[in-house]
């Protein structure tokens, strides 16, 4: 059995505020949105980030040198619609990006190729899904779901949207999962 197969994976759930709702002055996800909100993959060196530079949240990618300086190139816009596209996360091999989008009436989880093509919706429900993150082996996506006005919970699903499983329970709100290889 290969070393890669013997590794185990875990998802860490970070607690949101007690209501799970965005507070005034906070970003789309209910927490302060950092200026870059960027994720850097190891495989292709590109940076993916959300930006409101066109008026609403869209997803962009750029090279590791950014947009500034002599060798900087303008970031490439990967999504374009009138809804918020946010919280991008690279597949560990750098070939695909998971993200959340409100384009179909409420926030759902989508995936797309690294160049922005083949945008595919993975979740379909009446609650808000957000904060996707890939497992280190690329076979699963963990994400948060607002089950009610009182609670967010963490779920995972296969990379194609099947095999949805709840990972957290109890009172309070759990959100913003992040995968890590188990030591």
Q: Which domains, and CATH codes, for the chain? A: 3-181 (2.120.10.30)
Q: What pLDDT score does 162 carry? A: 96
Q: What pLDDT score does 164 carry? A: 94
Query: Which of the 8 DSSP states describes residue 3?
Result: H
Q: What pLDDT score does 39 carry? A: 55
Average pLDDT of the residues in 143-154: 84
Q: What pLDDT score does 42 carry? A: 47
Token pair of 137 as six digits: 């082996």
> Does the predicted TM-score (pTM) go above 0.85?
no
CA angle 27, 41, 16 (to 5 degrees): 30
Q: Is 132 helix (H, G, I), strand (E, B) or coil?
A: strand
In Å, how far are 5, 29, 166 from 37, measured between CA atoms? 31, 11, 26
| For residue 147, pLDDT beyond 80 | no
């Amino acid at each position: 059995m290969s070393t890669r197969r013997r590794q185990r994976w875990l998802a860490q759930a970070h607690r949101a505020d007690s209501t799970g709702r965005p507070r005034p002055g906070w970003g789309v996800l209910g927490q302060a949105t950092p200026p870059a909100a960027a994720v850097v993959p190891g495989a292709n060196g590109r940076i993916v980030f959300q930006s409101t530079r066109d008026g609403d949240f869209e997803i962009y990618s750029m090279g590791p040198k950014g947009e500034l300086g002599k060798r900087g190139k303008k970031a490439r816009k990967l999504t374009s619609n009138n809804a918020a596209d946010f919280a991008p996360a690279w597949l560990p091999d750098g070939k695909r990006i998971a993200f959340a989008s409100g384009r179909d009436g409420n926030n759902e989880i989508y995936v797309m190729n690294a160049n922005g093509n083949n945008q595919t919706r993975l979740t379909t429900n009446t609650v808000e899904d957000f904060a996707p993150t890939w497992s280190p082996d690329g076979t699963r996506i963990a994400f948060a779901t607002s089950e009610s006005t009182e609670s967010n919970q963490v779920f995972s699903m296969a990379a194609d949207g099947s095999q949805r499983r709840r990972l957290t329970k109890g009172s309070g709100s759990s959100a913003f999962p992040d995968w890590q290889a188990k030591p």
